[in-house]
Amino acid sequence: MSVIERIKVLAEKEGSVRKFAEKCGVNERTLSNAIQRGSELKENTIQSIVNAYPNLNLYWLLLGEGDMWNDTLTRQLMEERAQYVTRLNELLEQRVKELERELKKTDPARARDLGIE
């Protein structure tokens, strides 16, 4: 099955090509013609589809591998990981500021040499 055939499956799940095109913010005629001809879509059209369906499995869409939808657990784990990384960055930035303050107090010349003002 090609990418356009998998997009046709998505459109059928939405109920019609028109509804699917509206949801994705793409031109219905472009999409209909591509489906009828079996031709591939431009990258920006595929990106619009991906944006409209955030839990769509890209491996399935592009390569036909795996399930159509990413499972909820995977998405939750990715969100938790992103939150963890964000929090870790905040803590590291805090620690760097603390060390900079300490260096300014203990060795102001060295701090200036390092560009810490």
For range 53-58, the mean pLDDT: 88
Domain ranges across the chain: 3-63, 72-113
Nearest-CA neighbor of 103 among 92, 91, 115? 115
Q: Which amino acid is at 12?
A: E
CATH topology of domain 3-63: 434 Repressor (Amino-terminal Domain) (1.10.260)
Virtual torsion, Cα 42, 22, 10, 56, nearest 10 deg: 80
Q: Confidence class of residue 80 from pLDDT cuts 50, 70 and 90?
A: confident
Give per-residue pLDDT as tens, 9-39. 999 998 999 999 999 999 999 999 999 999 9
- For residue 49, the tally of other CB atoms under 10 A from its CB is 22
State residue 38's pLDDT score.
92
Distances (CA, A) of 63 to 5, 75, 83, 109, 112: 12, 20, 30, 58, 54
Q: Is residue 66's pLDDT more than 90?
A: no
User: What are the φ and ψ backbone dihedral angles of 6, each rounded to 5 degrees?
Assistant: -70, -35
